[in-house]
């Protein structure tokens, strides 16, 4: 298939602690979306680092545009496949 890139052949960021448990921070009802993001990122900096590595892998393959939503969904899938159901990170 022309243009197909095998996900296993792309330089994957295996050195990042991706599949460690995702920590769900304490959210207060009055928190803004920015504050919720800051709390999540502070508790789980490896998530953003892995997303950045995924984007760089695509860039190295010559892509100049790609959606963050697609990267997040791939990351969620990889996490679900490589962790136990009770490892954190949610289902929804």
Tokens of 1: 């298939």
Q: Is residue 29 part of a domain?
A: no
Of residues 10 and 21, the one with the higher pLDDT is 21
Q: How many domains does the chain have?
A: 1
pLDDT of the residue at 3 = 43
Q: In the structure, what pLDDT confidence band is assigned to residue 81 with cuts at 50, 70 and 90?
A: confident
Is pLDDT above 50 for 6?
no
CB under 8 Å, gap of 24 or more: what pairs does 27-30 form?
none
Q: Is residue 25 part of a domain?
A: no
pTM for the full predicted model: 0.67
- 8-to-4, 27, 64, 78 alpha-carbon distances in Å: 12, 36, 20, 12
Q: Is residue 70 part of a domain?
A: yes
Q: Is residue 67 part of a domain?
A: yes
Q: What is the rounded distance in angstroms from the CA atom of residue 58 to the CA atom of residue 52?
A: 10
Q: What are phi and psi of 70, to 5 degrees?
A: -65, -40
Q: Which domain holds residue 74?
A: 45-82
Of residues 87 and 62, the one with the higher pLDDT is 62
Yes or no: say if 31 and 39 are a contact pair by the CB < 8 Å rule.
yes
pLDDT digits (tens, 9 = 90+) for 11-64: 444 444 556 778 899 999 999 999 999 999 999 999 999 999 999 999 999 999
Q: Is residue 22 part of a domain?
A: no
């Amino acid at each position: 298939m022309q243009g197909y890139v095998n996900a296993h052949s792309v330089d994957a960021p295996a050195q990042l602690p991706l599949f460690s448990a995702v920590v769900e921070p304490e959210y207060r009802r009055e928190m803004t979306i920015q504050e919720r993001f800051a709390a999540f990122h502070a508790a789980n900096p490896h998530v953003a680092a892995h997303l950045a590595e995924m984007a760089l892998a695509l860039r190295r393959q010559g892509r100049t545009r790609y959606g963050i939503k697609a990267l997040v969904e791939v990351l969620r899938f990889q996490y679900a496949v490589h962790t136990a159901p009770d490892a954190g990170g949610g289902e929804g």
